Chain A
Amino acid sequence: GAVVSQHPSRVICKSGTSVKIECRSLDFQATTMFWYRQFPKQSLMLMATSNEGSKATYEQGVEKDKFLINHASLTLSTLTVTSAHPEDSSFYICSASGGRGRPEAFFGQGTRLTVV
């Protein structure tokens, strides 16, 4: 299967600072990537759909100014959590669409964000 790499796997930051999470498709071009948030013992909540070369599409209730998404190339999407607060602490996971004819998505390893 296709490989998606997410970095960092774990980050601790101070309240008020910004954190950038990278999601890379290593062996295929991903025109579309997705960002999810997962709370403990819960399912994945889709935050936004990231399209290469255009603005991301955010799900209802997700603050676009707080969670900045950039998809500048066919292999890289970034999520920046701006002015992080403790309530932003969570597990963030990216996925990349498998491409033409492949309905499944491939997931990164996830990033555990802790805001102190």
Chain B
Amino acid sequence: AQSVTQLGSHVSVSEGALVLLRCNYSSSVPPYLFWYVQYPNQGLQLLLKYTSAATLVKGINGFEAEFKKSETSFHLTKPSAHMSDAAEYFCAVSLYSSASKIIFGSGTRLSIRP
């Protein structure tokens, strides 16, 4: 069975600083990996996805993530944090190219200090 583990339930960075949110996955077959963002009382918005093409994936709002098979990781980064980045971030995994259920990590709350 596939799963994802997010290290750190809460991350706080200063505005303008590097954002690094960690995610490790477990899967018996090559996975599809995602990062989603959730703002309070809203649904989830897809930030980026890995689908076995390029290992460095660029997403919206300046975020990117790198798939590292040797480390079974898919960490999310952004060079310079903005106040509007404060939200809950979820790493997720699925196995198939379509109609497959997506399994979510426990989430990481990102806070931005002025």
Contacts and interface: CB of A to CB of B under 8 A. Distances in A.
A93 B99 CA distance: 17
Which of under 10, 10 to 19, 20 to 34, or 35 or more describes the interface residues of B? 20 to 34
A95 interface: yes
A87 B51 CA distance: 38
Interface stretch (A13-21, A75-83, A105-113): A105-113
Q: Which of A4, A101, A104, A107 has the most CB of B within 10 A?
A: A104
A25 interface: no
Contacts of A106: 46
B42 A43 contact: no
Contacts of B43: 4, 6, 93, 95, 107-110
Given A91-B41, A104-B49, A107-B45, A46 B98 contact: no
Interface of B: 32, 34, 36, 41-46, 49, 51, 90, 94, 96-107, 109
